[in-house]
């Protein structure tokens, strides 16, 4: 092949690449301009709609405020009426309430006296009974601590064993997959080197 033919084929290849690249860049530029124009139109349309709806929004808030103020006034009148009724009922029932509290106070004083007598009887218990109860409680606490410690150690051993078993199973299944992937990568790189 002569130098001229090689130069011509080289120029043809360069022209194809540069033409392809120029087409690619011009398509991207055109699409970007379309996108930008679409966004500008959408923004303009949204701004116009916002301006149209601004008066409706202001009217809505004004009506809501008026309704709220009316409701508050109605609630205030109703609350004042209920308060007045309750005040009248209170004045009518104040004597009954005082009698109720007086009876409760007497009942409470009687209960306190009974409890004080029971407490005095219980304090007569022997010191040996107290010590026996104290020993029983301390033994129960020790037994509970030992049982909790054994349960904790058993759970920890089981957890460790399951972690080791899980790691082994993971490696057992992943090693063949990794070997296959390495062989595939080696074959592909060997084929590209040919």
Cα–Cα distance, 179 to 185 (Å, whole number): 10
**pTM for this prediction:** 0.27
Residue 183 resides in a domain: yes
Residue 182: is its pLDDT beyond 90?
yes
Residue 174: is its pLDDT beyond 70?
yes
Instruction: Using CA atoms of 15, 20, 25, 30 in order, give the dihedral in degrees to the nearest 10.
Output: 120
Residue 159 resides in a domain: yes
Residue 168 resides in a domain: yes
Domain with 132, as residue range(s), is: 128-194
What separation in angstroms does the CA of 104 have from each of 20, 32, 96, 116? 100, 86, 12, 18
Residue 166 resides in a domain: yes
DSSP H stretches of helix in the chain: 3-122, 127-193
| Mean pLDDT (whole number) for 140-165 | 88
Express as a percent the part of the chain with pLDDT over 90: 10
Residue 87 resides in a domain: no
Domain count, the chain: 1
Pick from 25-29, 100-104, 123-127 the range whose average pLDDT is largest: 25-29
| Mean pLDDT (whole number) for 79-86 | 84
Residue 146 resides in a domain: yes
Residue 5 resides in a domain: no
Q: Which of the two residues, 14 and 94, has the higher pLDDT score?
A: 94
- Rounded to the nearest integer, the mean pLDDT of the chain is 82
Residue 152 resides in a domain: yes
Q: pLDDT tens digits, residue range 96-117?
A: 778 877 887 888 888 888 888 8
Q: Which of the two residues, 120 and 49, has the higher pLDDT score?
A: 49
């Amino acid at each position: 092949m002569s130098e001229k033919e090689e130069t011509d084929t080289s120029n043809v290849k360069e022209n194809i690449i540069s033409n392809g690249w120029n087409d690619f860049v011009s398509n991207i530029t055109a699409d970007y301009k379309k996108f930008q124009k679409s966004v500008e139109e959408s923004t303009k349309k949204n701004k116009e709609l916002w301006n149209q709806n601004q008066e409706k929004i202001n009217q809505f808030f004004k009506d809501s405020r008026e309704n709220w103020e009316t409701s508050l006034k109605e609630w205030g009148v109703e609350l004042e009426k209920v308060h007045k009724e309750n005040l009248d009922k209170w004045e009518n029932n104040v004597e009954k309430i005082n009698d109720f509290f007086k009876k409760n106070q007497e009942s409470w004083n009687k209960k306190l006296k009974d409890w004080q007598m029971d407490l005095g009887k219980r304090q007569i218990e022997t010191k040996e009974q107290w010590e026996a109860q104290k020993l029983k409680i301390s033994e129960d606490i020790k037994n509970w601590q030992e049982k909790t410690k054994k349960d904790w150690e058993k759970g920890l051993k089981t957890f460790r064993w399951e972690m080791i078993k899980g790691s082994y199973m993971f490696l057992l299944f992943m090693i063949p997959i990794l070997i296959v992937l390495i062989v595939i990568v080696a074959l592909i790189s060997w084929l590209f080197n040919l």
